[in-house]
Amino acid sequence: MQAVSGWLLDVFENTQAAGAVLWFLSDKGERLRLHQPFPITFYVAGPAARLREVWRFLKDHPSAPRLSRDQKRDIFQPQPVDVLAVEVASLSSQQRLFQQLLEQFPTLNYYDADLSLAVRHAAKYKTFPLCRCRVKFYESYLIQDLEVENTRWDLDPEMPKLRVLHLEPDCDPAHAAPLAICAQMNGQSYRFSLQPVRPLLINLQALLKRLDPDLILTRWGDTWLLPYLFELMEKQPFELALNREPGRKYMQRPERSYFSYGQIIYSGQQIHLFGRWHIDQKNASFWTDLGLDGIFEMARVTAQPVQVAARTSPGTGISTMQVLTALEEGILVPWHKQQGERPKTALELIESDLGGLVYQPIVGLHRDVGAIDFVSMYPAIMVRSNISPETCKPHPLETSDEKPGLIPLTLGPLLEKRVALKHRMGLTPRWDPRRKLDAERSGAHKWLLVTCFGYLGYKNARFGRIESHEAVTAGGREALLRAKEASEDFGFNVLHMYVDGLWVKQPGYTQPADFSALLDEIVTRTGLAIALDGVYRWVAFLPSRVNERVPVPNRYFGVFQDGSLKVRGLEARRRDSAPWVARMQMQLLEYLAQAESVDELPEYIPGALAILRQHLADLRKGRVPLTDLLVALRLTREPQEYTVKTAGARAGQQLLAIGKSIRPGQRVRLLYMHGGEVQAWDMPQTVDPRRVDRARYYELAVRAASSVFWPMGIPEADLRAWLQGGIQLAFDFALPAGKRHILLPPREEEKEWAKLFVPGERKLEIVYS
Amino acid sequence: MNNLFPSHLPNQILLVMGEHAASNWMWELSAWLALQGNLRVLDAGNRFNAYPVAQAIRRQHQNPRVVLERIRLSRAFTCYQVDVLLEEWLPQPHPTLVFDLLATFYDENVNLPESQRLLRQVIWRLQQLSKLAPVVVSTSLPATICAERMVLFEMLKAQVGELRLEMELTAADRAQLPAQMPLLPAFDSTTTP
Amino acid sequence: MGRTVPSITQVFMQEEQSLSRFRRALRRSDQLALDELLSLARQHLAAAAYATHVLPMETFLVAMLLEEHKEVRRLRDEVELLQRSLNAGS
């Protein structure tokens, strides 16, 4: 018998014997593969006569299930349900048995029938990825005792030192055929040529054996690198130790496109390994926002395996947490949700089927504005008003005396952890490295809390209910209006309100402390936590740009008192902007942000205009690399399904024509070319830079710049005329109001521009719209 | 609007087809029935837009709020929910309207035999309801990508008392107005944020 | 899950659309006035959503009146101011 302390890395089904495999990393740095029996139970409910038939069917079944009768709680039923409990030795035999039962007895209700091994293990042993535990095991590595020493809610979980191997092809495989694989670990870099094959495999094997990484962090590992290596291994044949688990191949999840929050999402195929983790940065949903620590936090709080959490879709994480709560509370997890809506009148429908309140901001430039946000408003309302499928629908923002329901039980600790982390971040100085760690982890919580609301109403959500969803939005509207009333009672002018935030100002109120009385009042009136996002030195709300008929209440930029920028809805923040345009706009904003106060802002306008001219000159002289002009447009359907051939659809069709796959939800990168044409970047032929439609990019840049200059008092038409040269730019600066003049003598470069615009194809004209 | 509808709906299942599952016609029918008394609506395809119903009521009644309260509705987002909701509905002498019945059955997340089994059950339930009061069901045809689900429509069609095609004017049929240009500049603080 | 009742913005656009024949037959100068009225109503979409009136157009009409009244008040103040300065001057 041995006992070790360490971290749990992963748990999955044992294929050598019925049960589970657990990979540990001990305090001494050993990587241990332990195993334990792990029987699986699921439940069948229905009329007694039918259940007896099921009993007879299962009694002599080869999988030898243990059968018993029980009473359990179905959250949608007022009374406990009589169920037949079916226990088998392994997850895979449970899944096979469930499929057989479904075919034989399709009309019965099934519970706990399609749950992952990880969530079952978490419910039984309180395990989660990277939890600290003490294990006792026999010489056969059979676990005798497993004790978890911390919880998912620890603010400062102790982290092991993980060994990370970076692997990636030498170029984007969608764009060109890679020639080599680049590896990096412990600061050392290696490059393995793809040809010849044998040395490639031998070298990689040597690296894997020598370093024995816990995590293989790749780029394009899901879509190209690992499938490529596994294919090589089969052809050779050669057993490359990508897995730690001997004899295992890999688990593949195919690519798919699905709807989520009104948006079509593409998720590429996935390759999961056994005993090591594989994370593809290019396929990890949260990589850019959360980083590795955010992904680990996501895995920890949702109790999903790291490889799953890294690629999880919004909703799946929160759903897993709900399932875990249900298992812990002895609540049945329905296989699919059956309950429809409780009947309501058509009048009630009109009065309840609406979302958050979105106001139209008072557009233009404003000084000394306080931005106030409810902290995770919707989840906070669910917890405060105990909103859950099994609880009574409350009046907006009222508390309830009922026992906490499943949803508040799930969200409560997560919300507390987020608030605690946010609080600590507020106290941590900006230079402190812990701040970044906290920010990444807090980001994971934010994602989960944001999606938990949508998930409450989602049609396939197991514990969703329309009435709960409606109660939450009703609470949100009430909270926002109470906050508005409090602000106005305190003499503030409300500039803008957006679902869970409001922007207020009052002459003489310039410091965070000036707003604390208001914050306290809002907390008193709503019972919800609220935070001052900051006090803006100045903030500009913008009108809609693309379509004046569609309101865009979320387009603004501003500078907080510490000089930091906040930008929403502008090109600089949009993922479909050409990097060159986004960077140009960001530079303009960063330059303007240097103004100590709004009074100095006008002095910075000439400099900002110079930045714009500099970028336009770069474009004209061909100094902008083509990769910086790439526009990444998301396809919302199959390329051939578009009736109006958008730029994205045409680029997608180019790729389809040469046999490359492109699916709804994926982004297609393209360049705008002369003659209104586009070219998909992942086409094999090289692009002739002279054919790039620079006039189009000029247009995009001027529009992006105009969003910045417009609120300062410079109309777009004037900006264009000034850029054309020869005129003096005179404008009324918005704040403090006053006439300014900026002289621009005509320059040669403006004349040069005219040559770029092919006659008849696109005129460079001043557009007054 | 009375001439839109038969003066008396028989106690049987009437199946209506048309653009967007004949929703315009169904809204008018909801208003017309609500003006006369209570009715139940099962919205199986997210089709019940209460505003046009309120407008249609307003043409004949000064207080649409009162009349809207005579319509009791439930929404279903999966075919399982359609089945369970109908199972829970007690037989009543009020008309029943089902909007876009097959929408959730066309959903390929549920395999076809299972959809067929549920639909058989649902049709049986509707037949029971139709013994006491009229049942009007609207539907659309499956999209071309799931053409094999046409059998579901055929199943339904074979079991109803009457089939009605509601050819509605679509936007494209109406005389097109030339595009009208907005006259306000986009960058005007009064137009839009 | 899509909502069943259209959003206030969708309802507003439908109401706008239903005015398109009326609008077409107006003189250009009157079209401009109509567009301005509609854009005034648009400023109060959030409040109109919260109102959940069964006939939203009635709320839009009140929103137009509200903005018109603000303008009348502003002009009245201005006229009074001018009058006072005229009286003082004479």
The string of pLDDT tens digits covering residues A722-752 is 887 656 666 677 666 666 666 554 455 555 5
A460 pLDDT exceeds 70?
Answer: no
Q: What is the mean pLDDT of residues A448-466?
A: 76
Peptide bond into A196 cis (omega under 30): yes
What are the tens digits of pLDDT across the range A260-293? 544 566 777 899 999 999 999 988 877 777 889 9
Using the structure block, give the residue that is written with the tokens 């760690």: A437
Contacts of C among chains (3+ CB pairs under 8 A): A, B
Interacting residues of A768 by C-beta distance below 8 A, sequence separation 6+: A717, B185
- Which tokens go with A53? 């038939």
Q: How far, in Å, are A291, A448, A453, A528 from residue A379 at the CA level?
A: 24, 10, 7, 10
From B2, B47, B1, select the one nearest B22 (Cα to Cα): B47
Residue A283 sits at the vertex; the CA angle it makes with A277 and A288, to the nearest 5 degrees, is 100
A351–C43 C-beta distance less than 8 A: no
Helices (H) and strands (E) in chain A, counts: 20, 30
Using alpha carbons, select from A668, A670, A588 the residue that is nearest to residue A629.
A670
| Chain B interface disruption, residue of C1, C3, C4, most B CBs within 10 A | C4
Residues in chain B: 193
Q: Which residues face B99 on adjacent strands?
A: B43
Dihedral sign computed on CA atoms, order A654, A660, A661, A665: negative
- Please report the pLDDT score of residue B175 as a whole number: 62
Which residue from B minimizes the CA distance to A361? B193
Is A148 within 8 Å of A132 (Cβ atoms)? yes
Q: Which of C9, C45, C52 minimises the CB distance to A351?
A: C52
Best B63, B92, B188, B192 residue to mutate vs chain A (most A CBs within 10 Å): B192
CB contact under 8 A, C7 and A359: no
DSSP E strands in A573-727: the ranges are 631-634, 667-672, 678-680
**A23 vs A180: CA distance, rounded Å:** 32
- ipTM field: 0.91
CB contact under 8 A, A350 and C52: yes
* Residue showing tokens 């429509």: B153
A314 vs C43, higher pLDDT: C43
Q: Considering chain A, what percentage of its residues have pLDDT values greater than 90?
A: 63
Gap between the Cα atoms of A493 and A510, Å rounded: 14
Burial of A414 (0-12, 13-18, 19+ CB in 10 A): buried
**Top-confidence residue, A661 or C35:** C35
DSSP state of A663: -
Write the pLDDT tens digit of every residue in A480-514. Answer: 999 999 999 999 999 999 999 999 999 999 999 99
Span of A124-133, A465-474, C62-71 with lowest mean pLDDT: A465-474
**How do residues A333-389 score in pLDDT, each as one tens digit?**
998 877 778 899 999 999 999 989 999 888 889 999 999 999 999 999 999 999 999
Would you call C10 an interface residue with chain A, using a CB distance cutoff of 8 Å? no
Report the alpha-carbon distance of residue A151 to residue A132 in Å, rounded.
Answer: 9
- Whether pLDDT at A550 is above 70: no
Query: Cα(A501)–Cα(A399) distance, rounded to whole angstroms?
Result: 22
B123 closest CA partner among B106, B98, B141, B143:
B98
Please state the rounded mean pLDDT for residues C57-82. Answer: 96
- CA-closest candidate to residue B97, choices B21, B155, B171, B173: B21
Give the integer Cα–Cα distance in Å for A190 and A168.
11
Q: Is C60 on the interface with B (CB under 8 A)?
A: no
pLDDT of A97 over the 90 cut:
yes
Q: In chain B, positions 68-127, which contact chain C (CB-CB < 8 Å)?
A: 68, 75, 77
| Sign, CA torsion C38/C40/C43/C44 | negative
Interface of A with B in 539-578 (CB under 8 A): 541-545, 548-553, 555
| pLDDT for the residue numbered A679 | 93
Residue in chain C nearest B43 by alpha carbon: C4
